[in-house]
Structure 1
């Protein structure tokens, strides 16, 4: 009897090995074969244009009264001077004063248009950090093969890169087979309510519906995914929602010499500890799951084995992903206490304590879900909980021609990169375009490092000339792919 059980167990183990091994060796790559681009650019002109664009202080401030719109006017005038052919051949209009929209008429009006969008506003340079920059943040200095200044990564590179690509294609007598729109916002860094949102409402009234809109977002990053040696280009197919939870408790204060066992500050602090100890459940689903399905075929054998059999190893994968903040954010709604307000006098118990928590919501998690989770986790009826904000954007398709066109264009420029969908953690103007686009994607076509990510809103923002030129070439390719690809899914 024991021998029979042993043989059954050995048989099951053998079957397990055969099935999981088969799954591993038969997993197919989802990467299209690259068609290396043959685009010859006027490098001197391209660099000059981006460098000059950086010198305009088109800064977004939370307090809109601080906007210096003279700088925004100068920037628009600079575009007209730098790209006369684009302004002559394309329809151009301003929406809400500073939103810039170009329309390139295609040969087939029956097809839905494609849109590319970026923004030309930038974040402020933090006071007293100017001296830490190697080059002045608004100099546009070109030093050692790099272009320096605010907007080189976020996101004047997108605006100038797109216009350079359009100018190149016009010079080479290219005519798109569908209408193409190029839409540039001016307040993306503070939410895009007056820029992208107004552009969207205007186009919506005209009945415009895009097959897809491409905005900034993911990029091509090295050492991003364990087991993948190649750089990985991540294309955001959704962005997490952003919500603010406020926890407030009010009660008697009194002298600090006679405190209760549990004070207002203590109870709010305890609530935060409970939230951080509980956390939202991590689950490999949606865009996070899609990411690993695209990169799994390119992994080393051990990692490929695990992800090729993720139905078996899913709990293990989720546990591993939860160990690091960046990967944990990919599979769960995150909790980040950011502000604590209470007390004015060292020897007086405060009558009120408040904590502000920023949450980034997974697709499928509602504001109501978040509030219920918080209330249940803190388990304190005296603490008032309010939750405001936005839920995650819709998840765009990875099965149809729109995603495939972006993937192909990226592979044509970065032939060794693995291009995959992912979930974007930060916000972008793309969320506004969800109203008038079947799909919205988020991809900045440059190869960057983790240090570059910190520079985007920080000190010493810059881009290499090679990276910038590759971005232009990508935009050339994506505009060509919009005409090459079959639109029947």
Structure 2
């Protein structure tokens, strides 16, 4: 009898392994076959123009009075003189003087247009760090096949890359199959209210709806996706929400020589500790799940087996993803205490203590649900909780021709890269274009490292000449692929 039971159990295990293995083997690639790009630009001249673009100090500040608008004027004049065909063949409209809309009329204007967008404002160079730059931050220096300066990564490379591509295609007498809009913001780094948001509202008032808009965002990265050895080009299909939580407690202070067992500072600290220990629940769904559906077919057999049978191994997958901040943020709303305020004197207990926590919300999580979770978790009636911010953007499609066009263009330039959707953690102007677009994608067509990511708003921002040229090729390929 025991032998029969053993054989029966072994048979079940065998069937289980066979079925799950078949599921793994039947997973098919979601990558289009690359068609090597034939775009050939004059690299020297393009690099020289990009280098000059970096020299304009188009720095944005939360106080708009601090903008040096003469620099913005000079930059726009530079665009007009550097891209003559663009300014002859396309119509240019200015929104709030410095937001730019270029319209390229296509062969079939009855079709919904596409939008390609970027921003030409940059963040300030932190005072006191200028001497740490290997090349001056607004020099645009080209040294050892690298272009240096603010905006080389974020995001003059997008603006100049788009215009270089358009100028090249116009020289080839190319006309897009549908209308194409280039939309350039000038205040993205401070929220985009007068730039991208005003542009989107203007187009909305005219009844214009895009099939898709593509902005900066994800890039082609290496060694950042578990189980994948090839470079992965991640295309943001949604942005996490952004919220600020304030915890505050008021009560009697007193002399520090006679403290209560639970002080105001201690209670706020305990509340934060509880939140960090508990965390929001993790769930591999939405854009995070889409990411692994696209990359799983390209994994080694073991990893493919696990992800292909997600319905069995999801708890294991989530446990692995939670071990690293970058992958953990893919599957849950994150908690980041950033400001703590209390006390003015070392021998006096503060009467008020407060803390601010930055949250990045998963698609589907509401501000009301977040507040309820925090109140229940800290479980202290004397601490007031206030939540202010925005929820995640809508999730764009990965199953239509729109995402396929982005994939194909990227693969044509980066033949060995896996192009997959993902959830963008940071913010961009793309969220504003949700007002007028069925789909909004976020992708910077360059191959970068984790160190490059740290340099985007930091010291020694630069990009390789090869990456810049590939960005131009991507935008040209995208405009061509959309027509096909």
TM-score of the alignment, normalized to the shorter chain, above 0.5: yes
> Which residue in 2 is equivalent to 1:111?
111
1:269 alignment partner in structure 2: 269
Q: CA deviation at 1:63?
A: 2.2
Instruction: Map 1:245-324 onto structure 2 (within 5 A).
Output: 245-324=245-324
> Aligned equivalents of 2:19 and 2:68: distance in 1?
64
> 1:107 deviation in Å?
1.1
State the 1:201 CA deviation: 0.7
1:374 lines up with 2:374 in the alignment = yes
Deviation at 1:300, TM superposition (A): 1.0
Shift of 1:226: 2.1
- Is residue 204 of structure 2 the alignment partner of residue 195 of structure 1? no
Show the 5 A alignment for 1:57-456: 57-456=57-456
- CA shift digits 1:227-247 (9 cap, x unpaired): 211100000000100000000
Q: How does 1:469-480 map to 2 (within 5 A)?
A: 469-480=469-480
Query: 1:435-485, CA deviations, whole angstroms, 9 ceiling, x for partnerless residues?
Result: 10000000000000111000000010001001000000000000011111x
Report the alpha carbon displacement of residue 177 of structure 1 after superposing the two structures with TM: 1.2
Report the Cα offset of residue 20 of structure 1.
1.0
**Distance in structure 1 (CA, Å) of the matches to 2:285 and 2:328:** 12
Question: 4+ residue stretches of structure 1 with deviation over 3 A?
Answer: none
Shift, 1:158, TM fit: 0.2
Write the distance in 2 (CA, Å) between the matches of 1:60 and 1:306.
46
Tell me, which stretches of 5 or more residues in structure 2 are unaligned?
Answer: none
Alignment partners' CA distance in 1, 2:97 and 2:400: 36
TM-score for the superposition, normalised by structure 2: 0.99
Unaligned runs of 5+ in 1: 485-489
**Partner Cα distance (1:93, 1:209) in 2:** 18
Take 2:379 and 2:481, find their aligned partners in 1: how far apart are those partners? 54
Distance 1:472 1:455 in 2: 21
For 1:339 and 1:213, the matched residues in 2 are separated by 35
Separation of aligned partners in 1, 2:248 and 2:307:
44
- Equivalenced residue count is 484
SS at match of 2:74: helix
Residue 12 of structure 1 corresponds to which residue in structure 2? 12
Deviation of the 1:62 alpha carbon: 2.0
Cα-to-partner distance string for 1:301-335 (whole Å, 9 max, x where unaligned): 11111111111100000011011111100000000
Q: 1:90-111: per-residue Cα shift (whole Å, max 9, x none)?
A: 0101001110110000111210
The C-alpha deviation readout for 1:361-404, integer Å capped at 9, x for no partner, is 00000111110110000000100000001100000000000000
Q: How many Å separate the matches in 2 of 1:108 and 1:293? A: 34
Please report the RMSD computed on the Cα atoms of aligned residues, expressed in angstroms.
Answer: 0.6
> Structure 1 CA distance, aligned partners of 2:48 and 2:369?
50
